Amino acid sequence: MSPVDFTWLIGGPQGSGVESGANIFSKVCAEIGYQIFGKREFYSNIKGEHSYFAVRVSDENIHSNVNEVTLMASFDAETIFRHYDDVSSNGGIIYDSDLDKTSTEDVHTLDDPFKERLHKELESRNKPFTISGVIEIAREKGVNLYPVSFRGLLADLAEQTENPKLKGLVRMYNVLGVSLSLGLIKMPPDSLLKSIDMIFSKKPQIAEINKQAANYAYNFATAKFSNFSHNLTGTTKQSDTILVQGHYGTSIGKMVSGCRFQSYYPITPASDESVYLESNEILQIQNDRPGSTIVIQTEDEISAMGMMIGAALTGVRSSTSTSGPGFALMTEAIGWAGINEVPVVITLYQRSGPSTGLPTRHGQDDLQFAVNAGHGDFPKIVYASGDIEESFYDTGRCFNYADVYQIPVIHMMDKFLSSSVVTCTKFDPNKISIDRGQLLEKIEGNEYKRFAFTGDGVSPRSRLGMDNGVFWNTGDESDEFGHISEDPQVRIKMMDKRMSRLDLALEKIPDDEQVVSFGVHEHTIISWGSTKGPILDAISMLKKEGIDIGFIQIKLIHPFPTDHVKSLLKDAKTLIDIEANHSAQLSKIFKQNVLRDINYYILKYTGRGMTSTEIYDSLKKIVKNKAVKREVLSHGA
């Protein structure tokens, strides 16, 4: 039996329940054993603009979306206009037959550049600018069409259940879409009802109505449509699989790592993490009274940074979470944390810049900025996670780096990760260790020096409020006590002491924490962050065709592990850099350190994440010697 690889797409206006529809679908699929990779795309808007969720389902491990959609569930016209072309030739489209005559002019949220492209296409195919027009094109391509009158469905249901309220209950269209889909692919209905119960667990009455509608739609689809060739009837369930949202890795990671103070200012796509931490602020502690994460919403990101540092000075593991614009405001204080050797972790969920940029879209534009954030010369660590599961363990590492080397750590995440929903192996807290470095438990005597010169550049650390541990901090250059000093010799010694910890970090952090090698071949990819998933999937697609591509995922970006990267890549002849930004920022850092050229670039900066299909296509061109040096990807609405 060939492996299941099925992509379901649901779309609709923001606020119409696209996300809960996708959550129900993902839960149902995961429940019967499938692996899930889902990703949400949305506008910077509260209600009305187009959002969609593509959920890829497989019985093998998957780490990305693909270009083609197997089944699309749409309940508005815009979704059909925007995505009809994504559906594969033997796939299907469920759509509201009442929309047949809707024209592109009727849909006010279709923007001009998109309409222009669509009209051109429709014109060339001699089709009207209506839903019938695009549906006709899909039909000609071989797509199976499932027209359903959503209004009619609800009216019938209202009559049957003698509940006139159901009639015209547009809010239920999402559940109808999911249920029709599940009926079409013959998925067992019981998990559908269970999922609805879970999603609406706080609103039992709403759950009840939704379940009635779900049942009705499900039965309607199974009775009426039988020609869809894709079935998802279940597979062997792997134990200890969890279904997680994008920010769960860092947020649960922070709880486990002992982060007890988080200050933040609201920003997409970072605030979900802080809100989650606050929702779970009381923590269960083994053999002890409950602990807590104190989450403070501040007046701006400068304050978030200042408060975090103030808390960290009391010895508390402290953190903030932000995105590019907020991070830009934090940079002055990062330097303060640097010169004062304060361990803090900044979780940086990148989005597309510059400025407000594409505020709800993906980008890896802030790598060089993170490396260079803050004026003056001071040490920091920049560490990048490749997927949600990894980000859990990396959060633990980041706090250890911060404590052990007493420096600020910037943990690079992004919107691709934050708006994904995936299955992965249950996080194992026991794989995280807590190393607080030279944090003192007790101080005797009167001569404590916070910035004492030691052999390895790390001074034993007191905390505000500790007995006998009085110290001073200053953003000025200082002596060993922390008092201002402008003495040139003290300056040399202090600068050397601080900066030496970059070498110490490179020496002490294990190689496989710095760079992860997925094999090195003649053609080898270098990349960082969330491109990992689509790269891995593209590599395995090529492997099935007998093509081997290497891949090293660089996680420690600063200090850059030059020697280790050099030695890993010594047998690679053709280097391919893959990044979601315009200027191939990792490659610049790479070239500056490794003094080696990159042969090909695969870049994307549309704000939409890469799919494995896109990377597969680009890699194949490279292998066949038909590629341009800089390939720019653009898939995705």
Q: For residues 312-331, which are near other proteins according to CB under 8 A?
A: 312-318
Q: For residues 130-149, which are near other proteins according to CB under 8 A?
A: none
Q: Which of 255, 346, 536, 580 binds other proteins (CB under 8 A)?
A: 255
Q: Which of 135, 148, 277, 333 binds other proteins (CB under 8 A)?
A: 333
C-alpha 410/C-alpha 375 separation (Å) is 16
For residue 19, count other CB atoms closer than 10 A to its CB.
21
For residue 269, count other CB atoms closer than 10 A to its CB.
24
- Taking phi first (over 0 means left), then psi (-120 to 50 degrees means alpha), and beta for anything else, what does residue 126 get? left
Q: Which backbone phi and psi does 409 adopt, to 5 degrees?
A: -120, 130
Interface with other proteins, residue 632, by CB under 8 A: no
Give the shortest CB-179-to-other proteins separation in angstroms. Answer: 19
Give the shortest CB-457-to-other proteins separation in angstroms. Answer: 22
Give the shortest CB-326-to-other proteins separation in angstroms. Answer: 14
Give the shortest CB-28-to-other proteins separation in angstroms. Answer: 10
| Residue position matching structure tokens 């006010």 | 108
* Measured distance between the N- and C-terminal CA atoms of the chain, rounded to whole angstroms: 33
Interface with other proteins, residue 483, by CB under 8 A: yes
Contacting range for other proteins; rule: CB under 8 A; set: 13-21, 134-142, 373-381, 427-435: 427-435
Give the shortest CB-391-to-other proteins separation in angstroms. Answer: 15
C-alpha 502/C-alpha 205 separation (Å) is 58
C-alpha 636/C-alpha 633 separation (Å) is 10
Interface with other proteins, residue 447, by CB under 8 A: no
Q: Which of 66, 184, 307, 598 binds other proteins (CB under 8 A)?
A: 307
Of 86 and 389, nearer to other proteins (C-beta) is: 389
Q: Which of 25, 27, 250, 524 binds other proteins (CB under 8 A)?
A: 27
Q: For residues 550-589, which are near other proteins according to CB under 8 A?
A: none
Cα distances from 302 to residues 264, 269, 332, 605, in angstroms, run 9, 18, 8, 28
Give yes or no for a contact between 511 and 562, defined as CB atoms under 8 angstroms apart.
Answer: no
DSSP string, 226-240: ----------PPPTT
Interface with other proteins, residue 288, by CB under 8 A: yes
**Structure tokens that stand for 528 in this block:** 């960082």
Q: For residues 28-67, which are near other proteins according to CB under 8 A?
A: 30-31
- Report CA Rg, the chain: 27
**Structure tokens that stand for 95 in this block:** 């759509």
Of 255 and 549, nearer to other proteins (C-beta) is: 255
Interface with other proteins, residue 299, by CB under 8 A: yes
Give the shortest CB-313-to-other proteins separation in angstroms. Answer: 6
Q: For residues 382-401, which are near other proteins according to CB under 8 A?
A: 396
Interface with other proteins, residue 516, by CB under 8 A: no
Q: For residues 226-245, which are near other proteins according to CB under 8 A?
A: 237, 240-244
C-alpha 339/C-alpha 337 separation (Å) is 6
Contacting range for other proteins; rule: CB under 8 A; set: 76-84, 160-168, 282-290, 601-609: 282-290
Give the shortest CB-31-to-other proteins separation in angstroms. Answer: 5
C-alpha 193/C-alpha 215 separation (Å) is 8
Give the shortest CB-293-to-other proteins separation in angstroms. Answer: 8
Of 130 and 250, nearer to other proteins (C-beta) is: 250
C-alpha 411/C-alpha 558 separation (Å) is 11
Interface with other proteins, residue 346, by CB under 8 A: no
Of 155 and 470, nearer to other proteins (C-beta) is: 470
Interface with other proteins, residue 436, by CB under 8 A: yes
Of 465 and 510, nearer to other proteins (C-beta) is: 465
Strands (E), 303-442: 317-322, 344-350, 381-384, 408-414, 420-425
b/e sequence 281-296, b meaning 16+ C-beta within 10 Å: beeeeeeeeeeebebb
Of 156 and 281, nearer to other proteins (C-beta) is: 281
Interface with other proteins, residue 339, by CB under 8 A: no
C-alpha 297/C-alpha 423 separation (Å) is 30
Interface with other proteins, residue 603, by CB under 8 A: no
Interface with other proteins, residue 432, by CB under 8 A: yes
Longest dimension (CA), the chain: 89
Quote the crossing angle between the two packed helices 532-544 and 612-623, to the nearest 10°: 50
Of 248 and 451, nearer to other proteins (C-beta) is: 248
